[in-house]
Amino acid sequence: MRRREFITLFGCAAVALAANAQQASKLPTIGFLGMATTSTWQHWTSAFVGRLRELGWIDGSNVAIQYRWAEGRSERFAQIAAEFVHSNVSVIVTAGAAVLAAKQATSKIPIVFAVASDPLGSGLVASLARPGGNVTGLSVQAPDLAGKRLEILREIVPGLHTLAVMANADYPAAVLEMEEVQSAARQLGLEVLRAEIRRTEDIAPAFENLQGRAQGLYVCIDFLTDTNRLRINTLALGARLPAMSGFREGVEAGGLIFYGANVPDLFRRAAEYVDKILRGGDPADLPVEQPTKFDLVVNLTTAKALGIDIPTALLARADEVIE
């Protein structure tokens, strides 16, 4: 009798487990392709998941999120995208240079980019109003911000006459931003030194080449510069170069100043795209949106280390001052 009860209980448990597994496999799945690491993207993923929850999507309950991290290695982008296509996820969420890898991997699975510097110019979408394919999301307008960032940097460094610009030469959007910076610098009468990098090992030699030749540094937005933000800021401090960071997190890692889109807000809004797509929306008809929140962040600790006095008027405009 006991043996029969055991067999019955075991059978019921097996059926329940199978049913749960089958239910999990039927959940709509979000493939989240992170260009860097879990820790460097923590604020962004938290913003994304938090907004999904507000919209009624709970990971493990009515949606599944598969995270894959490229750890700053661009060769991993295509590999991870292929994995998502193979597992037939419902939607892929990513940013920056990884968007193109995802687009090349599939023309059917919807792709949402939380951050893209120039989605139209880089060929990700046919138009901002009507993307026309399986890709849509949010543009950070990086090229358009170049002039404003240089004006802020000149406020901090009145004697600025030679500007160093660091960018990943293998990332088209970063190259475009570098060109926009050069154009804006010419209008301000500044000389520009290009510091082109392609891998982590290029960063230190680039700073050695800049030593004593520039009075300020502009770091273009890119997964490579973001992943290596601590290294870049440490070397910039050693070279006595006030740095305008491409991301807010760069200032938290020791950069002097940041002005640009609020990236956590962009990831929250990316969750809204995912919500629409999971409810039947077509990415071809979902317009690419622009940032609505911009931040000015200053690191006073770094300013003191560089011997720079931040103007009172600029501090009054700052959204955050790190001390």
Identify whether residues 98 and 205 lie together within a single domain.
no
Residues of the chain with pLDDT under 70: 1-25, 142-144
254 shares its domain with 273: no
253 and 174 together in one domain? yes
| Helices 263-278 and 42-54, axial angle in degrees (round to 10) | 40
Q: CATH number of the domain that 208 lies in?
A: 3.40.50.2300
Count of structural domains, the chain:
2
At 98-146, the pLDDT tens digits run 999 999 999 999 999 999 988 988 889 999 999 999 999 999 876 668 9
Do 303 and 199 share a domain, yes or no? yes
Q: What's the predicted TM-score (pTM) here?
A: 0.82
Query: Are 235 and 126 part of one and the same domain?
Result: no
Give me the domain span that covers residue 109: 2-139+263-292
Per-residue confidence (pLDDT) for residue 22, from 0 to 100:
44
Same domain, yes or no, for 114 and 57?
Answer: yes
Six token digits for residue 28: 């709509």
Same domain (yes/no): 61, 122? yes
Q: Are residues 129 and 276 in the same domain?
A: yes
121 and 231 inside one domain: no
Do both 201 and 244 map to the same domain?
yes
Query: Do 99 and 149 have their domain in common?
Result: no
Report the distance separating Cα 206 and Cα 229, nearest Å.
14
- Statement to judge: residues 68 and 194 lie in one domain: no
